[in-house]
A and B are shown apart, each in its own frame.
Chain A
Amino acid sequence: MAVIKLDSGYNIGVEADCCTFVAHAAPATPRSVPVNQDPSLPELAIISTGGTIASRIDYRTGAVTSQFDADDILIAIPALAGIARYRTKQLYTILSENMTPSIWQELARAVYAEIQRGVTGIIVTHGTDTMAYSAAALSFMIDTPVPIVFVGSQRSADRPSSDNAVNAVCAASAARSDLGEVAIVMHATTSDDSCAIHRGTRVRKMHTSRRDAFQSIGLDPIGTVDYSTRKVTLGAHAVRRKTHEPALHEALDERCGLVQFYPGMPPEILSAYEGYKGLVLSGTGLGHVSTALIPRIRALIDGGTLVVMTSQCLHGRVCDRVYDTGRDLLAAGVIEGNDMIPEAALVKMMWVLGNEQDKKRAARLMKTDLKGECIGRSAHGC
């Protein structure tokens, strides 16, 4: 079917052979809207990976437009101009499901370069699907004295109700705040009134479509941003600006996997992970898989694979000392993954194995809190 745009603005589909070629449409003229950046404001870097913060869809080709500079962002979200001045870098324009560990590394290098350049904070625009993985990856790879804020939108920028403007304004506010760690800043509720600041290693996308899809797991958000006043309130547990000296440890070992156990799962599935350096299991309850899987797991460990147990409950701590199966897993050499979110445990494993060759020390690191991914005590209500 060919699509016709009528004078009224409506589109209709007709058989392509009803149409006659008349002429090619004139190319769209690029807009030139002057944008003024206030030199007295602190400088933030915006690194884009393909998030929808300022993207435009070209409806004729279906492609997302590649022009992406400070002007584009400020045209799309004029309120940003009152918060900071911006330098921008477009690293990628990809859907976040197409992210890879090597892109995390490239992103880490780009962010680190901005830290060294002395910007007040960094905003990373990112698709929401795998934003939590990337935020966790940067948490481990970079020691940062300044805020590194991931932001995206759940409703695309081409709709008047998009959450992009509120999220971007809150992200920029957080990026010039007293924060000193990697965070995700997105809507706190379904309303356009405030955003939550989530720790990069403790956050998860918990809803397919809601604006407040991102939730901190096992702890309260590390801060909030009030949209109308731009006021940033940090929790006592948030890492403050300049707590850490800048450092980049970009090595990752990608030969790691994450497997969710389900009742009746055939043990053969685990054979696919032979030769892997690490495997995170997302087990049931306190951290269990069926007894039938244990011989294969033992074989993997004996073959040199580091195996860490997490829980598909997401909330709570793994404890393999309560039931027989758990004890058998511990006897086979499985490491309890504390209260880590499975995805954060996977990313951490890649980073640990990329930076630590010694198996025993790597195993100990997996149990140790490095960037807030493990919480020592389980508080009420979280």
Chain B
Amino acid sequence: MAVKNAELTAGIEIHQQLDTREKLFCRCPTTLRETAEHTGEFHRYLRATESEMGTIDRAAQEEMKRDRLFTYYPYDTTCLVENDEEPPAPLNDEALCVCLTIAKMFSMTAVPQVHTMRKLVIDGSNTSGFQRTALVAMNGTLPNGGLIETICLEEEAAQRVKDDVFSLDRLGIPLVEITTSPCMHTPEEVQEVAEYIGMVLRSTGCVKRGIGTIRQDVNISIPAGARVEIKGVQELDLIAEVVRREVRRQEALIAIRDELKGRGATVDPAAIQDVTPLFSGTKSAILKRAKKCLGITLPGFAGLVGREIQPDRRLGSEMSDYAKKCGVGGIFHTDELPAYGVTAEEVAALRTQLNAKKTDCIIIVAGASEKQATCAANQVILRARLALSDHPVPEETRKMLETGSTAYMRPLPGAARMYPETDVLPVCITTSRWEAIPVPELLTVKAEQFVQDYVIERPYALQLAASDKLPLFQRAVTEGIKPKLAAFTVLSTATELRRDGVEIKMISDEDYLAVWHAVEKGRAAKEAIPALLRNIASGCPVGQAIEQLAPVVSHEELESIIQKIIDERKEFVQTKKMAALGPLMGVVMAEVRGSVDGKVVSGILKQQILLATQGK
């Protein structure tokens, strides 16, 4: 679907982990661990508390709908601060330094005094029930003319292992949160800005790399829709798709509302009825297991609850997400029934008992207790009311699903979720400190230099500038290795091998250099590099790996090898003529086992084929 500029306003929040030695509020290392290495576990409840203004945040209240006992995994690299058993240490100065550097790169203004706040998060991802966060600088600029509103220094949340189990290794790693103004108007622009900010962050050389170390949240609204925050978009390539799908969802919800109004649809809380006995002999495992089944009649909703609003998402999915907050697994609605073990007869009986018309949709919730089922039914009523209201797109925090569609997480949090972290003293940013912060060169600038100096292609140059192998590359070039050879090996060959499951971490800088020198001296062919690296990665010393290549072949020897191969395949060469070059290359290369450059082989082979065919 085409998204017109005037329809969409979007802003993004980028969360980037910093590669500091220690965590933000304790002296633990910022090392991620294997879950199996955890040294014990403990269990905690979290409760919503009031802000300093005396109100409870609506997002926090939503998480309180059921008592959840969270399980946490500590490690020998975590401490009592992550366990919420010790007050935080002072704000990590190294992290503040990186944050100020980034702020300066976006021409931001640092706040005179940084105050650490507690941002209420009671989904279990923080043992304390809040995330410590501090606003460090404001008002930056983007190349597209947009604004960066704020940069905050925050502690990373604990990693969810599954359900209500969390791993504490990630908790407390410093991260910066960069928030842009709603200055973007197309899905593609959102993606470009995210890419640009990511590049600036990598230019510091002080950010963590790899999957999960950078996350994008996207704020989207369209006219008559609402502001929606989509969390956890990890892949940049998906941002534009996520934005497109959200616009589609908001438009679909508005259309559904208009249709509901046209039909005179209503929502009545009194429409909740006990239907448990109806399903006493059902084949649906979920309904059979439930202690309480409630039916909710939604007059005029038939067909619309099941209408798709995003790929694989319906209004019913939204209702289901709301109901899940009470701990139920989901809901059934008559737009999708009979199915899932519920028979047509059961649906008919349900319609009769609830006195429902054909135009009505019935929602069934199944709870492990009456309390849970009632809670879920009330959530369905709440979501149905919203669908019919003047604001059919609720202000929500949503999470991205794998394909780019989204699911409801909680209401958008308000300012009530912030209150002061009284255990951390404020930090002043003096003018002299701000002025002393160095501003590193942007990777794009560095890359341009590589294009000129080394005559390598621009995309390679940019990759190289951002690569942690850059120092190796620069050393290789000063040692006389061809820039293209070095760049191709570290960016392309190594990546391919890694994807193939080769432990390229085992290959040292010295190994790479030895391999390149062997190639430059003609001892090894370029084509032999992947095999050499494979060997080295599996533990073979580099010298031995090169020795194992076939012995050096002289020009004369090579000519006679090739002559022999052609002689043996005379007929083939005569028929195919120059087209025989490709197949014969393989045969020759196998014979010399990587000790001769492919170019040299192909040169001689061409000559010999020419001679052989002309000779006739």
Bound pair (A, B): yes
Give the interface of A toward B (CB within 8 A). Answer: 1, 3, 5-15, 28, 31, 56-57, 59-60, 155, 157-162, 165-166, 189-193, 208-211
In the complex with contacts A10-B418, A11-B117, A191-B42, A160-B129 CB distance below 8 A? yes
Q: Which of B45, B114, B416 interacts with A9 by CB under 8 Å?
A: B416
**Contact partners of B134 in chain A: CB under 8 A:** 10
Q: A10-B115, A10-B150, A192-B45 are in contact. List 5 more A-B contacts (CB 8 A).
A: A12-B114, A13-B111, A158-B50, A159-B49, A165-B45
Q: Taking CB as reference atom, which chain B residue is nearest A18?
A: B112
**Contact partners of B51 in chain A: CB under 8 A:** 9
Nearest CB on B from A26, distance (A): 11
Stretch at the interface among B82-90, B156-164, B482-490, B559-567: B82-90
Q: Which of B43, B87, B129, B414 interacts with A193 by CB under 8 Å?
A: B43
**Contact partners of A57 in chain B: CB under 8 A:** 52, 422
**Contact partners of A60 in chain B: CB under 8 A:** 52
Q: Which of B42, B83, B115, B122 interacts with A12 by CB under 8 Å?
A: B115
In the complex with contacts A10-B117, A161-B44, A192-B69 CB distance below 8 A? yes
Q: Taking CB as reference atom, which chain A residue is nearest B50?
A: A56
- For the complex, is B208 an interface residue (Cβ under 8 Å from A)? no
**Contact partners of B601 in chain A: CB under 8 A:** none
Q: Which of B47, B152, B416, B422 interacts with A160 by CB under 8 Å?
A: B47
Nearest CB on B from A151, distance (A): 17
Judging by beta carbons under 8 Å apart, are A8 and B85 in contact? Answer: no
**Contact partners of A160 in chain B: CB under 8 A:** 46-49, 60, 120, 122, 128-130
Judging by beta carbons under 8 Å apart, are B118 and A13 in contact? Answer: no
**Contact partners of A157 in chain B: CB under 8 A:** 49
Judging by beta carbons under 8 Å apart, are B128 and A7 in contact? Answer: no
Judging by beta carbons under 8 Å apart, are B130 and A210 in contact? Answer: no
Please measure, in the bound complex, the distance between the C-alpha atom of A208 and the C-alpha atom of B86, giving whole angstroms. Answer: 8
Judging by beta carbons under 8 Å apart, are A210 and B85 in contact? Answer: yes
Judging by beta carbons under 8 Å apart, are B54 and A31 in contact? Answer: yes
**Contact partners of A166 in chain B: CB under 8 A:** 45
**Contact partners of B426 in chain A: CB under 8 A:** 1, 13
Q: Taking CB as reference atom, which chain A residue is nearest B53?
A: A28
**Contact partners of B54 in chain A: CB under 8 A:** 28, 31
Nearest CB on A from B9, distance (A): 18
In the complex with contacts A8-B418, A189-B42, A211-B85, A14-B111 CB distance below 8 A? yes
Nearest CB on B from A177, distance (A): 22
Nearest CB on B from A206, distance (A): 13
Q: Taking CB as reference atom, which chain B residue is nearest A10?
A: B135
Judging by beta carbons under 8 Å apart, are B152 and A10 in contact? Answer: yes
Nearest CB on A from B152, distance (A): 7
Judging by beta carbons under 8 Å apart, are A9 and B418 in contact? Answer: yes
Judging by beta carbons under 8 Å apart, are B150 and A8 in contact? Answer: yes
**Contact partners of B152 in chain A: CB under 8 A:** 10
- For the complex, is B348 an interface residue (Cβ under 8 Å from A)? no
In the complex with contacts A14-B112, A160-B122, A7-B129 CB distance below 8 A? no
Nearest CB on B from A180, distance (A): 30
Q: Which of B45, B83, B87, B113 interacts with A14 by CB under 8 Å?
A: B113
Closest 10 CB pairs of A and B: A160-B129, A13-B113, A9-B418, A59-B52, A9-B415, A11-B115, A10-B135, A12-B111, A191-B43, A160-B46
Judging by beta carbons under 8 Å apart, are A210 and B45 in contact? Answer: no
**Contact partners of A161 in chain B: CB under 8 A:** 44, 46, 84, 127-129
Please measure, in the bound complex, the distance between the C-alpha atom of A116 and the C-alpha atom of B499, giving whole angstroms. Answer: 78
Nearest CB on A from B555, distance (A): 73
Which residues 416-439 in B have Cβ within 8 Å of A in the complex?
416-420, 422, 426, 428
Q: Which of B44, B86, B114, B416 interacts with A209 by CB under 8 Å?
A: B86
Judging by beta carbons under 8 Å apart, are B128 and A3 in contact? Answer: no
- For the complex, is B97 an interface residue (Cβ under 8 Å from A)? no
**Contact partners of B45 in chain A: CB under 8 A:** 165-166, 192
Which residues 65-86 in B have Cβ within 8 Å of A in the complex?
69, 80, 83-86
Nearest CB on B from A96, distance (A): 17
Q: Mark B202-221, 1 if CB is under 8 A from A, else 0.
A: 00000000000000000000
In the complex with contacts A8-B415, A160-B129, A191-B80 CB distance below 8 A? no
| 6 pairs, A vs B, C-beta closer than 8 Å | A10-B152, A13-B113, A13-B426, A28-B53, A57-B422, A161-B84
Please measure, in the bound complex, the distance between the C-alpha atom of A192 and the C-alpha atom of B210, giving whole angstroms. Answer: 35
Which residues 97-133 in B have Cβ within 8 Å of A in the complex?
111-115, 117-120, 122, 127-130, 133
